[in-house]
Amino acid sequence: MTRPALIAPSILAADFARLAEEVAAVERAGADFLHIDVMDGHFVPNLTIGPPIVAALRKVTKLPLDVHLMITNADAFIAEFAEAGADYLTVHVEACPHLHRTVQSIKERGVKAGVTLNPATSLSTIEEILPDVDLVLIMSVNPGFGGQTFITSCLQKTSSARAMIDRVGSRALLEVDGGVKIDNAAQVLAAGADVLVAGSAIFSSRDYAATIAAMRAAIQPSSTTPPRVSAHR
């Protein structure tokens, strides 16, 4: 069933020399979240940003900051990212040996907690923690770089995750990140996603508003207004 979805531009694909302008542009264009990928060069083969950039972005946007920690030792940085202004902090199942403790540490700081699964990681790894989280992120590419091709088998995984979330009565948002574009957005939504992360699909386009509008047109009736998410706590 087609339903409204939230669209989260990923700044990994933005022009970092004009980052404040890029963020303002996607906010004006109708984005619902701002997705921020933090990479450490260990858990994934790339380096990106840290808490100071998140703090700087907090000052220039009212959009909820969806901070995705692709890092080995997330526990050591939770307090810093929370203080920087993250609204959501999402950690990888594969990188957190004491996942319940990590999730509780995030929530104790007044931040919404998310868990992420790489494409080859089984959904069974989040079954026990699902009642405690606010967001489940399904990676539809292998994390580390933007602009990759969507892994189609992740559609079934998304559908299974939707069923799992609904079965336990969780209110967690289901987010999909990696290779999401206008031409596959409807499939991702139909599989059960609530939040679509799009990086190069938006930031590589000439008109962000037109691209976001086209994505919305692909995933929902024109008469439907997407749900808004409250900004920073």
Active site residues: 37, 177
Angstrom distance (rounded) from CA 202 to CA 39:
21
Q: CA 74 from chain center: how many Å?
A: 16
Angstrom distance (rounded) from CA 152 to CA 157:
9
Q: CA 39 from chain center: how many Å?
A: 14
Residues 196, 10: contact at Cβ < 8 Å? no
Residues 92, 43: contact at Cβ < 8 Å? yes
Q: Which of 166, 185, 179 is nearest to 3 (CA)?
A: 185
